């Protein structure tokens, strides 16, 4: 391994934003941990691409809602490369349920969504923190959502989990400096299979077209664009911590008159 290459863990990186992020990091000189919980085939495809871009890789099946899995993933990373320079908390889940459908979410739905979207990032940060502290620096990027800002999203549980993730981003940025910087990216509508599967093709296209016709920037997110925002926090923001980047084409500005 070239000691000049950084080491990055990206949770939920078999596809979508996570896959786009590891590919960008591989291209920019990082060795990569590709993490998945269920999508092994897609994860292996992502690993293969990262290798063609010059990265050493570690493929790690782990459920971030389980603390033992989080600690094991970090331990395997440090065992292989001796360090961890960047953590991207991207793994996420939801249940699509309209906000006015109060019977549509159970306690178990909330706990499952919180386990992945909020407890998972906390556990991953806890696992990497001693190593980042020891090496004198490290960076964490939490992939939150504009849903956590404007309270519009796939479900009330998802909205709440992302709002809470933004809050712990600030709390832990304050607590873990100066060695560790922690920031959050809040994408809006992200083009791709995750929303297509959850919304259905017809509604997905209708919402996408509406947003691209009305948002101030007339554009929605792609996984690759979100990856670029994540990379900014990793390599281009040495004096930024506790920040929340709204990355939504201007959706948070409200409805145009």
Residues annotated as catalytic (active site), given as ranges: 158
How far, in Å, are 40, 70, 93, 112, 120 from residue 65 at the CA level? 18, 8, 11, 8, 5
Contacting residues for 8 by C-beta, under 8 A, at least 6 apart: 22, 25, 30, 31, 32, 33, 84, 85, 86, 87, 88, 234
Contacting residues for 256 by C-beta, under 8 A, at least 6 apart: 214, 216
Q: Which long-range contacts (CB under 8 A, 24 or more apart) does 47-51 make?
A: 49/23, 50/22, 50/23, 50/26, 51/26
CB atoms within 10 A of CB 257: 3
Is the sign of the CA dihedral 166, 50, 8, 227 positive or negative? negative
């Amino acid at each position: 391994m070239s000691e000049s290459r950084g080491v990055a863990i990206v949770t939920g990186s078999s596809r979508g934003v996570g896959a786009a992020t590891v590919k960008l990091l591989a291209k920019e000189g990082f060795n990569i941990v590709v993490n998945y919980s269920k999508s092994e085939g897609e994860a292996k495809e992502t690993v293969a691409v990262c290798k063609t871009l010059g990265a050493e890789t570690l493929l790690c099946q782990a459920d971030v809602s389980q603390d033992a899995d989080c600690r094991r993933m970090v331990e395997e990373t440090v065992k292989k490369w001796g360090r961890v320079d960047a953590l991207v908390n991207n793994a996420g889940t939801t249940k699509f349920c309209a906000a006015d459908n109060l019977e549509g979410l159970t306690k178990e739905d909330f706990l499952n969504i919180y386990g992945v979207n909020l407890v998972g990032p906390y556990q991953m940060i806890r696992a990497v923190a001693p190593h980042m502290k020891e090496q004198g620096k490290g960076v964490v990027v939490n992939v939150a959502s504009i849903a956590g800002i404007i309270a519009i999203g796939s479900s009330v549980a998802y909205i709440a989990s992302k709002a809470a993730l933004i809050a712990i981003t600030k709390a832990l940025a304050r607590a873990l400096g100066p060695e560790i910087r922690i920031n959050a990216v809040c994408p809006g509508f992200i083009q791709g299979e995750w929303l297509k599967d959850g919304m259905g093709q017809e509604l997905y296209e209708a919402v996408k077209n509406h947003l691209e016709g009305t948002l101030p920037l007339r554009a929605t997110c792609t996984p690759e664009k979100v990856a670029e925002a994540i990379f900014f926090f990793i390599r281009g923001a040495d004096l930024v911590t506790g920040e929340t980047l709204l990355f939504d084409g201007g959706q948070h500005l409200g409805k145009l008159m």
